Amino acid sequence: MTAYELSSRIARRAYEGARIRRGLVRACGLGVLLGLIAVVAIGGGALAWLPVFAAVWTFLEWRGGALLRGGRVGALFGALVALVPTSLFMACCRLGCSMAGGVCCNTSRACAGIGALVGLGLAALLARLPAQERSRATLGAALGVVATAVPRCAGLMVGEGLGLVLGLIVGTAAAGVVCTVVDRIRQPAM
């Protein structure tokens, strides 16, 4: 190995290490903000999901580019989902009912519907990105929306939480497919 190759490898490791550290610092800062909002809006159980957010956000910051831009859009929509009142996820429950009493029901379909609507809402913002960045931005948006919205699952039953997360992923994937189809249609024929 030549001195140039060795110095290039050392410089690359230092660069990547600095990007990961920056991503971790930003993830911790945003995690504290998300944690405060989650505790107020959802309850203390939401704090258990913050490491998931920190890991995903560190990854997005480390990779940067279109992935990070999509992640920011997804995080905005995920924060909106985190603020949705629990009563919308459990529409058939009466106010103050007890889960043990059997009076409440599991409405995972409603959660999947809310998640899908939010995911489809991403299409309008992702469609404005350049076509070559859109697939990475869609992946970033899916990661961002799920990582930010997942504390909402702390206040839901397992089926509802899974319905919400799957709805978010499917809605975001559908938005990406729509954007890809529109790009193919817009391309001039050769």
Per-residue pLDDT in tens (0 to 9) along the chain, 190 residues: 899 999 999 999 999 999 999 999 999 998 888 888 878 877 787 788 888 889 999 999 999 898 999 888 888 888 887 777 766 666 555 555 544 444 455 555 666 677 777 777 777 777 777 878 888 888 888 888 888 877 776 666 666 667 777 777 777 777 777 777 777 787 776 6
Q: If DSSP codes are grouped into helix, strand and coil, which group holds residue 167?
A: helix
| Cβ neighbours of 76 (radius 10 Å) | 15
Burial of 175 from C-beta contacts in 10 A (0-12 / 13-18 / 19+): buried
pLDDT value, residue 58: 93
pLDDT value, residue 150: 75
- Per the CB < 8 A criterion, the answer to whether 172 and 145 are in contact is yes
pLDDT value, residue 100: 47
pLDDT value, residue 87: 66
CA distance 130 to 13: 30
Residue 10 belongs to domain spanning = 3-186
Q: If DSSP codes are grouped into helix, strand and coil, which group holds residue 143?
A: helix
Tell me the torsion sign for CA atoms 73, 174, 137, 183. Answer: negative
pLDDT value, residue 10: 93
Instruction: Enumerate residues 6+ apart whose C-beta is below 8 A from 75.
Output: 30, 57, 144, 145, 147, 148
pLDDT value, residue 9: 92
pTM here? 0.73
Number of domains in the chain: 1
